[in-house]
Amino acid sequence: MKYTRLTKQQLEELHPEFINFLATQSITAEEWDALKEENPEVAEEELDVFSDLIWEGVLSKVEYLENISERHMHLFHLSEKEMKLFSVKVMNPEIDLRTQEGFGWFKRNFQSDFVEYLTASKAYSKDKNQDKFQLIQQGAVITKGELYQWFERIME
């Protein structure tokens, strides 16, 4: 398995897609039920293959990721050829960027001496989607990129 298996909730939400997946494998609903009973290892493998297919599809479309912690923001733009990063560090120990109050403080004080910025870019490894997946595994979430684009505008 290349990525991680989808959660039970994710699999339930993707039930129609999973039925189509089984159909492409020429597996009927009755055969699937029998497979789960009689050969659970093979059923598990089918779930893993389906999960990887879904992850590949999602990761190939991801353009922006955000990883926001108490005093750091890592905002990624995943372009075709490289990953670009805006990194923000808040040096005010009373601020938590994950709260509305803390983020409000940041928006009012983003140019103060209590905020440091770093920009970087990095070429992908041989497996671009695996690079993206690793960022998600480290806590990044997929976004539409509004925050990254805001930084791009203010940094010009």
pLDDT truncated to tens, each residue of the chain (156 aa)? 999 999 999 999 999 999 999 999 899 889 999 989 998 999 999 999 999 999 999 999 999 999 999 999 999 999 999 999 999 999 999 999 999 999 999 989 988 899 999 999 999 999 999 999 999 999 999 999 999 999 888 877
CA 30 to chain centre: 35
Neighbours of 52 (CB within 10 A): 16
Measured at the CA of 99, the angle between CA 94 and CA 100, to 5 degrees, comes to 110
Report the distance separating Cα 81 and Cα 56, nearest Å: 17
pTM (2 decimals)? 0.86
Task: Give, rounded to a whole angstrom, the gap between the first and last alpha carbons of the chain.
Answer: 42
Residue with tokens 């353009």: 63
Nearest by Cα to 62 from 124, 138, 141, 152: 141
